[in-house]
Amino acid sequence: MTEPITLDTEPAQQAALAWRDYGDQVRAHGQNHHLTLDELRATVGDAYSPYVDAKQAELRARQAAYARAAAIAHGHAQRLSNTATIFETTDDDAAVRMNALLADGPEFPGTQSIRPVSNNTVSDEEAQLNVENMDRIAKSDLPGAGMQF
């Protein structure tokens, strides 16, 4: 593999901006009412005050629902932005590690190797056999062989 591994953050930043804009639009749309409650009261009169009260509750619920949808969009934008930031801060380190694994395989210095870990669920002999089997699998021609465990 001759191409360097990079993590492209530009699409994530663009998507985060789009989600932020969408959240702002949703919030603005939820606050836009065709007729204010005072205008509605003046239009229909006191005889329809139960209707106006119900309409007021409906408008509050509608505005709250739009605010929740906007908060979800803004949260998604924040997660995308955080992901892009993580990619930017860890891109070089991750690329070096991935390139080392792809170029030199699991024997490259600094990469993790298979080692037994005792958690008192298997004997040391069983753990050693597991390690030997995993080494055999890693060195075989099977699909997925050479993967880190």
pLDDT digits (tens, 9 = 90+) for 40-84: 888 888 888 888 888 889 988 999 999 999 999 999 999 989 888
Structural domains of the chain, count: 1
The answer to whether residue 141 is domain-embedded is no
**28 vs 92, more confident:** 28
The set of residues, in sequence order, having a beta carbon less than 8 Å from that of 31 and lying 6+ positions away, is 63, 66
The answer to whether residue 80 is domain-embedded is yes
Predicted confidence at residue 12, as pLDDT, reads: 82
Lowest mean pLDDT among 31-45, 59-73, 85-99: 85-99
The answer to whether residue 34 is domain-embedded is yes
| CA 121 and chain centroid, separation | 35
Predicted model pTM: 0.52
Q: Which two tokens stand for residue 137?
A: 């699998």
Lowest mean pLDDT among 43-52, 102-111, 120-129, 130-139: 102-111
The set of residues, in sequence order, having a beta carbon less than 8 Å from that of 64 and lying 6+ positions away, is none
The answer to whether residue 122 is domain-embedded is no
The answer to whether residue 125 is domain-embedded is no
Range of the domain at 88: 9-105
Rounded to an integer, what distance in angstroms lies between the CA atom of residue 101 and that of residue 127? 25
- What is the residue whose two structure tokens read 């997660």? 79
The answer to whether residue 35 is domain-embedded is yes
Lowest mean pLDDT among 18-32, 49-63, 100-114: 100-114
The answer to whether residue 133 is domain-embedded is no
